[in-house]
Structure 1
Amino acid sequence: MPRSIGEWKNMGFKRFSILIGLRTALIMLNLLAMTYLIYQPGYHAATVMATLILVLQCYSIVKFTTRTNAELVRFLDAAKHADYSQRFDLSALGAGFAELGAAFADILQKFQAGRQQQEEKLRHLKAVIEHVPVPLISIKQNGQLTIWNNAARRLFGKARIVRIEDLDQFGPEFVFNLTSMKAGERRLVTFQADNMTQQLSVSMTEVIVAQGQERLLSLQDIQNELDASQLQAWQDLVKVLTHEIMNSITPVASLAKTAVDLVSDTKQQVGDQPEIQSHLDDISSAVTTVARRSEGLMKFVGSYRKLTRLPPPVKTPITINELFSQVIEIARQEQAHCHFEFIIAVVPAALKVEADRAMLEQVLINLVKNAQQATQHVEHPQINLSAGLNRRGHVVIDISDNGFGIDDEMKAKIFIPFYTTKKKDLG
């Protein structure tokens, strides 16, 4: 049965005590013998011999204890500095010390095994934190900031973040919200980067570390969820409204057409009666207008109903340069009488995006049409199509022109679904 560390230590130090005791006893016996010989005449040679033996015995015990202390100090230094490469062969010190050396080696092996287990747990914990999809950061009391995982690094992009003040570049209220939060609190915070605004759900907790208190914050991006919820709300609203409007306007349109036919038949039956014919003409004109407007309203509502039945996107890799060229070709065919200067700038040139080609192409065509309309009265109309990667690795497509721009009053409305300033478009 293998012995424990305690058994090895007890055995080694017990033998160490026995050996020290034996050496001390021999020195005492030698002193007694030497004292006896000194007082006996004629034993000078024996006295000198006893003295030499005493000196050798003292040297042996000093060397024995010094060597043992040196090995003990070496063992403690190895344990202190986690130097597990040290070896302890104490068999040269005499019988019993091989077990003490084995005890030292066994203790270091136990320390090494415990250290390896701690490192494995730490590596596992770091791997788990790195792959958490929610950005995690911590702020110390001195303002020093630590980014803990890949999600946080993607959120801040290539910006150098070392202290809490470095977060000022992401919006004036961002730092204020992070620093004013209390433990256990959750807030909805606006985050601005690369001309994009995101809504982050931020929660904060406090942890106690060796350096003092530390604020741990999770920054969950909920912008996509908010956009999806808003779009779903608009679609649900449109579905309800179009359904109710269609149910109400359909019988009106049908009755208006029937009334037009009845008025026409009545006019033929009345014959030559100018006064009645005049009244019937007025009625016919009014009913015809109602019928025409009802039919137009039905078509208008039907066009909105199509927006609630868009098919799911089919994403494929799209080369941006190729997409821009096709959009420009379509725009030139539709506006052949106008001379627009198109400028394409894509960095890198082989930049691609994963998206639904038909939907993305339609969006770009609409934007280019808007740019063409905005530059109709410009002497040298110019439309720029650019694309690149922002600091967080997202593909950004930008369509701009040298027109007169958008009024400040309209800027707050342009992203409202179905908002438009044009009579025939749906927004």
Structure 2
Amino acid sequence: MLSKNFYFQTIGRVIFIAATALLFAFLMVGNNYVYAILMLIVLVFQAYYLIRYVNETNRKIAYFFDAIKNEDFTLRFPEKLSVKSLEELNHSLNMLNEMIQRIHLKNQTQERFYQEILKQADIGILAINDKGHILFANPRLELMLNYTPLNHIKQLSQIDENLYLLFSELRPFERRVFPLTNEREKIDLAIKSSSFNLDGQELLLVVIQDIHQELDEKETESWTRLIRVLTHEIMNSITPITSISDSILKYHEKGGTLAKSDSEYQKRMETTIKGLEVIKDQGANLMGFVQSYRSFLNVPVPDKKIVRAIELLEKVKLLVGQNQEFSNTSIELDLEIQDLELFIDEKQITQVLINLCKNALQSLSNRKNSYIKLMAGTNSEGQKYIEVKDNGPGIPPELINEIFVPFFTTKNSGTGVGLSLSKQILRMHGGGLKVISKPNIETSFLLIF
């Protein structure tokens, strides 16, 4: 309606100017100079009012947009005017101003709401641009790090040089754990990163949580399990040694003194030799157990290189498939991304995959239509993974939390180091090893990088 009124008003004024101009020309041709001069004056006034009318509309619109740009919503235009079209223009501008004001207030309310959530959150949150500038850091983070204000990641070097190096190398969708000792206490920071785009600028969003208490509880629980396993293994080895040693001593003593040679001497010597052989075997078992413990503690730092996932899995399939004992089990490859590349220590990850495949093969030894699937891809969080899946009997629910405990095993032979060592290797790669088991359906071990 407003645009139509403006259009008709402008067209009408232009028509009147054109008519006046034609009349002026007609009077000039007829040598009626007096009337011609009067028409010229009328023509000038008509042009003046047309320009004024258009400029007044443009000025109001310009004032309106300047006010909006400066977030000034107090601007009001009078709505009672003699010119109907200008009255409607003012009314429309006032309504638009009120609508924009409501939207602005709503956005401010939402922003205050989200800001309050970020302030009250029990985790640290910060946003970093590609130059290392910290665009946002909530109060919890500053309290956690005992440093304020945070404007650039270089300031983290004043807290801990290694913390600054971690942030300078941090990439989207990474997870890190960093132990930090500040002026008040020792804390363990779980650091998780992601990325998002804001106004065409790629930003790194980092979430930091203090998990010191949770780690303490887990550490206590792990030590309890470990001590229980160590006690069981050592007692199993030492009990026969002490028992047989005592028996041998009794064979050669009578009444507290060393027995003399008699007719049973040969028999006692044979018994002694057998006892010593048992002691030797138990001692060797105990040494092997300690050696396994040492290998678990001395995992070398990964020598990471870029490796194509397809080549790695084909190599593992070839190595595992050479075992004729398990020839009835098929080994399948399934890659979500054919050209997927991993930044890993190939030797260590190959060792982990072979260990997982051998465990799977042993569980499938008496199963028909058995298979192992080696899969690789990227999950919803952007993390690369390798999955080892089999359709074996699975892991009982009561054992699912025990299988990664060092030296825990359900096999008659073996040290129980394999899975715990594999998990340690994945942790040193900055990832993790997870298991999902559905008894008598399938079991999956997930290597996350």
Q: TM-score, normalised on structure 2? A: 0.46
Q: Which has the larger radius of gyration?
A: 1
Q: TM-score, normalised on structure 1? A: 0.48
